[in-house]
Amino acid sequence: MREKYLLENYDRYSLMVDSGEGCYVTAADGKRYLDMITGLGVNAFGYAHPRITAAIVKQAARCVHTSNLVFHRHQGMLAERLCHLSGLDRAFFSNSGTEAMEAALKAVRARAYPRPARLVALRGSFHGRTLGALAVTGQPALQHRFEPFGVEVDFIEPNDHGALRAAVNEQTAAVVLEPVLGEGGIYPLETGLLQQARELTERAGAWLVADETQCGLGRTGKYFAYQWAMIRPDIVVTAKPLAAGLPLGATLFTEPAAQFLPPHSHGTTFGGGPLACRVALEFLSLLDEALPRICELSNQMRQRLDGLRERHGVIREIRSKGLMYGIQLARPGRPYVDAALERGLLVNCTQETVLRLLPPYIIQLEQMDEAVKILDDVLSEAP
C-alpha cells in the first residue's frame, strides 16, 4: 500500500520500524538496530524514555489541543524557559524548524518593508523546504525546481571572514546562519566568524538570525550553539528535539525584533499546543541534567572515530561539534549506510560523501563501541 499511496519523495531505507527503546529501534521482523541518527536529531533522549512517556500519557488524558484563541498553562512556562536559556525575550511556537524559520524571515521582511529584504546566508546551509526557508538554503540542487523566490540572498562560504565582511553592508537586512551546518555535512562555524557576524550586523543595522534547528538544545554541549561564541542573536530558530518526537518548533526574538510581528501578522493552528509544550518542558528538565555530560560523551565518541580514521584511508576528515559528527569520505557514502543497516546500525549520508552521526544524549560507552565496530567492518569492505 505504501508504494501505491505515499508520495515518492523520500529515498527510504528498507526498514520497517515497529518500536523503540533507549538507543535502539526494533523492526517489524524483530531485529534490533542501534540508532545513531536519532530520528534526524529528534529523539535526543532515545525512544520510550520513561519520563517523556509519562508526560505524554498524563497530558494526553487532560488535554491534547487548544486553539491559540485561549491560553493553557504550559505554553507560557515553556516560553519563559526558552527565553531564559537563550537570552532572548519572546517566543512564537510552530510545528517544525522550517515553520520557525518562516516566522523569522517574515519578521525580517516586515522590518525591511517597503524596500527588499536583502539577506546573507551560507553555501551548503539548510534551513527548511518551504519557499521562504528554501530561499536562504545554500544548496542549488534543492532550489532549482522552485525558483525564483522573490528575495535577494548573497551566499558566501562558511568561515570565510573576508567574504562575510564584503557581503554585509547598509543594504543587508539580516545574516542567516547555522552555527553548525548539519545537513550540509557537519561544518562548525568558527567562534570568530560568529562574533564577526554579530559585530558586522550591529554595525550595519541588520539582524543576526541563528538557525539552531539541528545544533541547538544541547546537541553541542550548550543549550544553544551560538553560546560558544558568547553572542546574542536577534532571532533564534529551534525545533527538532524540543518536544522529544512531537511536532514543535520555536522562534525566539529579542524585544525589538518581536515588534515586527504584531497581532494578526502571523499565526498557527497547532503550534504550541498543551501536549507538545508539556512534553517540551519535560525534555528541558532532562536536558538540564544531561548537559554537563554531553561534552564528555562527545570527546569519547570523537576519540573512537579518530581511531577509525587512522585505520581507513577512505576517510578524508572527521568534523564534529558536541554530539554531531561528519565522516567525510573519499567516495559516495550510501553503500556504507546500507551495509551498516544490514549489520544493525542506523546512520545516514548527506552531501553524497558524508556519513552523519547524531548520537542520543543517553548513549553509553558500550554503544559507542558497538557503532564504531560496525563502521569499522563496513569501511573495511570497499563497496
| pLDDT for the residue numbered 372 | 98
| pLDDT for the residue numbered 383 | 58
Question: Which positions ≥6 away from 80 have C-beta within 8 Å?
Answer: none
Buried b (16+ CB within 10 A) or exposed e, 81-113: bbbebbbbebbbbbbbbbbbbbbbbbbbbbbbe
**Residues 35/360, Cβ–Cβ less than 8 Å:** yes
The helix (H) or strand (E) run that includes residue 276 is helix 274-311
| pLDDT for the residue numbered 14 | 87
| pLDDT for the residue numbered 346 | 98
Give me the amino acid identity at 364: Q
Provide the greatest CA pair distance for the chain: 60
| pLDDT for the residue numbered 118 | 95
What CATH class does 52-285 carry?
alpha beta
C-alpha cell at 338: 546500507
Measured between alpha carbons, how far is 348 from 13 in angstroms, rounded to an integer? 10
Tens digits of residue pLDDT in 249-262: 999 999 999 999 99
| pLDDT for the residue numbered 72 | 96
Tens digits of residue pLDDT in 230-239: 999 999 999 9
Q: What's the Rg (C-alpha) of the chain?
A: 21
Orientation of helix 73-86 relative to helix 274-311, angle to 10°: 40
Measured between alpha carbons, how far is 335 from 243 in angstroms, rounded to an integer? 32
| pLDDT for the residue numbered 25 | 97
| pLDDT for the residue numbered 9 | 86
Give me the amino acid identity at 216: G
| pLDDT for the residue numbered 381 | 83
Give pLDDT < 50 ranges for the chain. none
Measured between alpha carbons, how far is 266 from 337 in angstroms, rounded to an integer? 41
